[in-house]
Amino acid sequence: MGIFSSIFGAKALKKANRNAMIAQEEGMKDAMSYYAPFDDASKTGLAAYLDAIGQGDSQRAIDTFKASPMYRLNYDAMLRAGETGVNSTGQATGTARSGRTLMALQDNAQRVNNSLFSNYVNPLAGLSDAGVGIAGSKAQIRTQGADNQAQGILNKGQIKAGQMAGFDSLLGKGFKTLGAFL
């Protein structure tokens, strides 16, 4: 391989290496963008979950729960169904307005509320779990990107070393030729 092919080959390798690093960076950004909506949802879910389990703003958790479509759509219907059952039993036994009936109504309301709250919190826990998976995937993409970029930098160094070896060879041949004339 001659000096000119070494120089021009090295330039072509440098350009290919630079283009590969640019493509790697764009690919990494593109891959990260696919995670964005899920990442955002998991962050929101984690905050709501922490509120709901008492690790954040408990009042916000209650307000968010009561404003949820699940609560608004189901609470009244479930509560009325339970009340109807308790009241029917109370009327049938002649204890319609007794303390036992009122206690049964309160117990029913608490069961309905607990059931709905569990149904509200469980998906939030799932969102926060998804966030852990997303964070791991993003870390893996970034690590692979960093490895690829490090390899690109190493390639640049090897290209430069190859160029220098070509110049050294040329200088050595030049001195050898010069020495033959002297």
Residue 182 inside a domain? The answer is no
Burial code (b: 16+ CB inside 10 Å, e: under 16) for 12-31 equals: ebeeebeeebeebeeebeeb
Residue 135 inside a domain? The answer is yes
Domain that holds residue 97: 3-175
Residue 167 inside a domain? The answer is yes
Q: What is the pLDDT of residue 142?
A: 80
Residue 181 inside a domain? The answer is no
Overall number of domains in the chain: 1
Q: What is the DSSP letter of 134?
A: H
Mean per-residue pLDDT of the chain: 76
Kindly report, residue by residue over 67-122, the tens digit of the pLDDT. 888 877 777 777 677 667 666 776 667 666 667 777 777 787 788 788 888 888 88
Q: What is the pLDDT of residue 57?
A: 92
Distances (CA, A) of 17 to 12, 22, 159: 8, 9, 10
Give the closest residue to 43 by CA, choosing from 137, 138, 128, 129.
128
Given the structure tokens 């309301």, which residue do they identify? 109
Locate 108 and state its tokens. Answer: 């029913």
Q: What is the pLDDT of residue 6?
A: 57
Residue 34 inside a domain? The answer is yes
- pTM comes to 0.53
Kindly report, residue by residue over 135-148, the tens digit of the pLDDT. 888 888 888 877 77
Residue 180 inside a domain? The answer is no
Kindly report, residue by residue over 37-82, the tens digit of the pLDDT. 888 888 888 888 899 888 989 899 889 988 888 877 777 777 677 6
Residue 72 inside a domain? The answer is yes
